[in-house]
Amino acid sequence: MPKVRMVKCPECGGEFEFEDYLEIGDTTFCGSCDMELKIIRLDPPQVEVVKSLDDESDLDEEGDAEEF
């Protein structure tokens, strides 16, 4: 049975379900405050607030992109 992981929102401090399909660099939304959050770690799950003002687009190009 799938285990539900919870992740803490750095914005409001609330916890919400961390969907299994999420990967580092993906974005999700806090279930409590609806803040856009980026996944920065998977085990344990950790997210950071996506700063829309910060226009840095330093994409991780590690060349091991997995295709579905």
Name the site residues for Zn ion (rule: CB under 5 A). Answer: 9, 11-12, 14, 30, 32-33, 35
DSSP for the chain, written as a single string: -PPPEEEE-TTT--EEEE-TT--TT-EEE-TTT--EEEEEEETTEEEEE--SS---------S-PPP-
Residue type, position 57, single letter: S
Closer residue to Zn ion (CB): 22 or 30: 30
CB of 57 to Zn ion, least distance (A): 24
CB of 54 to Zn ion, least distance (A): 19
CB of 44 to Zn ion, least distance (A): 17
Closer residue to Zn ion (CB): 1 or 4: 4
